[in-house]
Copies of this chain bind each other. A is one copy, B any other.
Amino acid sequence: MREPLSRARVLAAAVARADADGIDAVSMRSLAQELGVVPMAIYKHVAGKDALLDGMVDLVVGEIPPPERGRWRAVLRTRILAAREAMLRHPWAPQVLESRTTPTPVVLGYLDSSIGILLDGGLSPDLAHHVMHALGSRILGFSQELYPTPPGVAMPPEVAAQLAAAFPNVVAVATSRAHDPGSVVGPGCDDQFEFEFGVDLLLGGVERLHRARWTSERTAPPARR
């Protein structure tokens, strides 16, 4: 009848379900139902919920292509943008990745090759170390935004007015780019632009430090004080 379960089938079903209905829709029970099987059957192929999530993360991270060749900054930038694309395909992935307490070998491998880009580019291990911390989860393509871009849904105008009065700076900045369509809330941000802006800001700073032969021996990172 039904071809047998397998770890790969379980993980693929879980990822598909999360892509379609969000990570909360992925429970052992719902997943089992989707596979036409009783919940406990899954446990013969993955150790438990945590292992399931780890496996899902591995699939997503595995989608990120290996680095190309070229100048370190361009190579790293390209790779981070590729990672971002994987995360956009699987919007649940950042949240799940952040919930893991220990990296899987797949994720470690990704980090390792990313560090390799820096070292191959001539950065000192010391600088590379700080750079990895400074990039943080952005290296994996996370937006790191606190809240999704303001909802396009219109709000009652009196609420909008009250909000504008209470938080004038927020609305001033939020509407700063709304020059073309004169909406109150603006057309939302260009997430891709914001992401690249942040990445380039960091990589640009790193490049300058590198060119200046910067080292962490009692020197403040950029010009300070």
Question: Is A138 located at the chain interface by the 8 A CB criterion?
Answer: yes
Interface residues in A164-189 by Cβ distance below 8 A to B read 166-170, 172-177, 189
* Interface pair B98/A146, CB less than 8 Å apart: yes
Question: Is A113 located at the chain interface by the 8 A CB criterion?
Answer: yes
Point out the residues of chain B lying under 8 angstroms from A203, CB to CB.
222
Contact (A97, B146) CB under 8 Å given A198-B133, A221-B201: yes
* Interface pair B115/A197, CB less than 8 Å apart: no
Instruction: Report the separation of the CA atoms of residues A224 and B118 in the bound assembly, to the nearest whole angstrom.
Output: 18
* Interface pair B101/A133, CB less than 8 Å apart: no
Task: List A residues at the B interface (Cβ < 8 Å).
Answer: 95, 97-98, 100-103, 105, 107-109, 111-113, 115-116, 119, 124-126, 128-130, 132-134, 136-140, 143-148, 166-170, 172-177, 189, 193-198, 200-206, 209, 216, 220-224
